[in-house]
Amino acid sequence: MMNNCFTTLVTIKSKRMFKKLIGHSLVKNSFRIFSSNVLVQLISFAFLPVFSRIYSPVDYGIWGVFIFFSGFIAVFAGLRYELALMLPESNRIAYLILK
């Protein structure tokens, strides 16, 4: 009986923690970024047969090398500044950060 009550208590607490975690803005925004990346990859994968019919293997390889190098250069050109830039939720918090 004691073990059953403990299990029920742990289950209730874990459900509360899970709901609190899911409601957090960091989790919501992270899921949004993750799902958009997955969507882009799925679209690319879906159009792969179309592109392989249009372009020859040599052209497709040249395109792949171009995409690789342009992505590599973009990382160093942008220095992922959009990830480093964090905006405060209110002017009060911005003031406290700069204070």
Q: Do 52 and 60 touch, CB atoms closer than 8 A?
A: yes
Q: Are residues 42 and 62 in the same domain?
A: no
Q: Identify whether 93 is part of a domain.
A: yes
> Six-digit token pair at 28?
């919501």
Q: Are residues 42 and 3 in the same domain?
A: yes
Q: Are residues 40 and 69 in the same domain?
A: no
Q: Do 61 and 52 touch, CB atoms closer than 8 A?
A: no
Q: How many domains does the chain have?
A: 2
Task: Please report, in tens digits, the pLDDT of each residue of the chain (99 residues total).
Answer: 455 655 665 676 677 777 777 777 777 888 888 888 899 889 989 998 898 888 898 998 898 899 899 888 887 887 766 666 677 788 888 777 776
Q: Are residues 97 and 61 in the same domain?
A: yes
pTM for the full predicted model: 0.47
Cα-Cα-Cα-Cα torsion 30, 33, 38, 42, nearest 10 degrees, comes to 160
Residue 4 CA to residue 81 CA, distance in Å, equals 51
Q: Identify whether 51 is part of a domain.
A: no
- Domain, as residue range, for 77: 56-99
> Six-digit token pair at 87?
């905006």
